[in-house]
Structure 1
Amino acid sequence: MSHPLIRPARADEYDEIGRVWMESWVSTGLGETSDFLLANLRARIRREIEDGWSLFVADDNGTIAAMLALHLPKLYLDMLFVAPAYQGQSLGRQLLGFTRTQMPDEMSLRCIRENEKAWRWYEREGFVFEKEEVEPSNGFMMKYYRWRRQRPAG
């Protein structure tokens, strides 16, 4: 597999990013594809960018393979979604490595408790569970995690 290039997203890609986001979300088994969901995700991208998202894509020779949304002032990894065709190829790990270049000392994230594959992966990648809370906007139980760079003893 070639390694997709991680780069800032362009405004003309937001609709395609919304489609990748929806397809990845649906691949978790927690949602179903719909025009309504797609429209909501596409609108949310624009709203979140206005509210401080730094949005990146993994570009595989013109195909968007993944999306990564960071809120750098809050040290928050908000969204990491890999298109189904690219899952299982270490692209998530590549995106997480890129995220650590943007937030090298500490970051937090949350994921839906029922998405066990995701939170177990984050735990393997060094994130530490902090708490669970219901997200009022969607009713999902969310698991909150934090990662801190390990300082050498000395």
Structure 2
Amino acid sequence: MLKVIVPYQAHYHDKLVGIWHRAVVQTHTFLTEQDIEFYHQMVRSGALGQVEIWIEIEEDQEPVGFIGLDGSKIEMLFVDPKYHGRGTGRRLIEHTKALKGDNLQVDVNEQNTGAYVFYERLGFIWTGRSELDASGRPFPLLHLEFKGSGIEAP
């Protein structure tokens, strides 16, 4: 099925919030239900409007994943769990590199080893660590930067 990457459009907001929620429930198993609801409220009430969003959509115009950018920093990357492992995240990263160049940064939760492995495979390296997340909560972040190569798409 053909997929394309398009800029954010407001009519996708609720679907992106749904993708965010499904992905977080599946991949952020270290969060409690209360933690997820705290972040879910932030995403529902405006976090998507604070970053540059690009969405991968299918032929039927349904979004399957999205990336949020602040300059060359990846602030969020979420893919609907039923599309995990199908290249959506990699394509969104490649799209970002085409837009912003190779000087990309991203923070990942230390407990989210799947995200760390994903970025490492794409050529990101560890550059630092913070004890708290951006909301001041005790979820350590690993700071990563793109340093080239990584695994190329087949």
TM-score range for the pair, normalised by the shorter chain length: 0.7 to 0.9
Q: Cα 1:115–1:146, aligned 2, differ >3 Å: closer, same or farther?
A: same
Matched, 1:58 2:60: no
Tell me the C-alpha RMSD between the 2 structures: 2.1
Given the alignment, which residue of 107, 119, 126 partners 1:122? Answer: 119
Give the gaps of 5 or more residues in structure 1: none
Given the alignment, which residue of 73, 94, 114 partners 1:97? Answer: 94
| Superposed displacement of residue 86, structure 1 | 0.6
| Superposed displacement of residue 32, structure 1 | 5.9
CA distance in 1, matches of 2:37, 2:79: 21
CA distance in 2, matches of 1:98, 1:14: 20
- Percent identical residues: 21
Give the counterpart letter for 1:87 in structure 2.
Answer: H
Matched, 1:45 2:47: yes
CA distance in 2, matches of 1:36, 1:116: 22
Equivalent in the alignment of 2:30: 30
Determine if contact 1:20/1:66 at 8 Å carries over to the other structure.
Answer: yes
| Superposed displacement of residue 33, structure 1 | 6.3
| Superposed displacement of residue 39, structure 1 | 3.3
CA distance in 2, matches of 1:125, 1:14: 28
CA distance in 2, matches of 1:80, 1:18: 12
Deviation digits for residues 13-62 of structure 1 (CA, Å, limit 9, x no counterpart):
2122111111111111234668945433211335xx2x4x1111111122
Determine if contact 2:23/2:79 at 8 Å carries over to the other structure.
Answer: yes
CA distance in 1, matches of 2:15, 2:81: 14
CA distance in 2, matches of 1:102, 1:115: 27
SS at match of 2:96: helix
Q: Cα 1:33–1:15, aligned 2, differ >3 Å: closer, same or farther?
A: farther
Deviation digits for residues 100-126 of structure 1 (CA, Å, limit 9, x no counterpart):
111213011100001001101111111
| Superposed displacement of residue 147, structure 1 | 1.1
* TM-score normalised by length of structure 2: 0.83
